Structure 1
């Protein structure tokens, strides 16, 4: 099981699908980012400790290998001095050191595998974190815009607005009625300018009539 066992759903899933299921996408994306950042801190701490443990294991393995070499030298020395018993004991100690060194080297190979997986998981999490942060601002803007539109829609469809518009219509009809009354009073009442203008029109018509009569008289005589 990976070091992010509690975070597998985010590592293995698409952030879009998580947000689609959320009741509050803005809150959800904040929680996702916070959880990812907290997990990264934890993982980096674990990674640092693992690397320190690896170095300690490597030092211990190297020490056992050096001890094995020293016991080899001691066995050769004892054998050269005719102390086969001491040479045998030295070889026993060499064997112990070699086995310990080999066991630590095996452990180091497992640690290396663990570190490789850890780095892979860190890379995955960083990608998810970058994705979430890239979407965070857009999601917040979309949520605010949608909320504003919803408020406008509610106001447009509200009874208060409809009632106000109905009153406007009533006021306009009332004003139309008043204006009609004013125009009715103006009918039949002529101003001085209107009367003079009518006289001028009448005079023009009389002139036109006289000209027409004058034109028609010669035509009658010719017949």
Structure 2
């Protein structure tokens, strides 16, 4: 037994509810579509058989009606020849043909009713199938998006990423050490510009010191 046991189960089913309860919505919608397509083939096959039966009934009914007309003509011919007995027999055969045609007409009405119902069921099933396929497409897109996001999240939280970042930190520390070694060679070695700048600074300090001494000596004399 498939997802649906009968045609009415498919027509009356709530696809949203089925998908909400499914552990694997992608698999469920695929099974639903397969069941719908299989049922659609069966219903169309039944409809085709009914249409063939209808055509056969129409042919039989037309034949009985034609036979009834012929028996009518034969009855009239027999009466014209004063053969009432033959006319009566011909009318009896005509009655049998008319009864058979009437029975076929009633059967034909039932067949046409069933064909109409089948056509309506086919339309409903096709609508359901279109809806299911649209939902299948949406579910597949959501699944693809979710899997892509999950893969990114897993990569972001993987040990490989953490290990790579740790290596970057180690490389940066090594570069810092190399730069520190380079700077250490510059300590104690002064360029010509540095030495001249140092002389200028010392000269300013000497000038300020001389000015301070002169000021203090002047203060002592005033006292």
TM-score range, shorter chain: 0.7 to 0.9
CA shift in 2, pair 1:161/1:5, >3 Å: closer
The 2-side partners of 1:10 and 1:196 are apart by 98
TM-score where L is the length of structure 1: 0.74
Q: Which residue is 1:129 aligned to?
A: 129
Counterpart CA distance in 2 for 1:210 and 1:70 is 156
Following the alignment from structure 1 to structure 2, what is the Cα–Cα distance between the partners of residues 44 and 71? 41
5+ long unaligned stretches in structure 1: 214-223
1:26: which partner in 2? Answer: 26
Tell me what 2:39 maps to.
Answer: 39
TM-score normalised over the length of structure 2? 0.74
1:91 is aligned to 91
Match of 1:217 in 2: none
Matches within 5 A, 1:1-223: 6-158=6-158, 161=161, 189=188, 191-192=190-191, 193-204=193-204
How many corresponding residue pairs?
A: 219
Question: What is the CA-CA distance between 1:6 and the residue it aligns to?
Answer: 2.8
**How far apart, CA to CA, are the structure 1 residues paired with 2:41 and 2:211?**
111
Q: Secondary structure at the match of 1:82?
A: coil
Shift of 1:114: 0.7
The more displaced of 68-77 and 117-126 is: 68-77
1:47-73, CA deviations, whole angstroms, 9 ceiling, x for partnerless residues? 222212111100101111111122222
Q: Kindly state the Cα deviation for residue 108 of structure 1 after the two structures are TM-superposed.
A: 0.7
Mark the runs of 5 or more structure 2 residues left unpaired by the alignment: 214-223
Task: Mark the CA change 1:77 to 1:188 in structure 2 (over 3 Å): closer, same or farther.
Answer: closer
- Give the SS at the match of 1:191: coil
User: What RMSD, in angstroms, separates the aligned Cα atoms of the two structures?
Assistant: 3.9
CA distance in 2, matches of 1:72, 1:96: 12
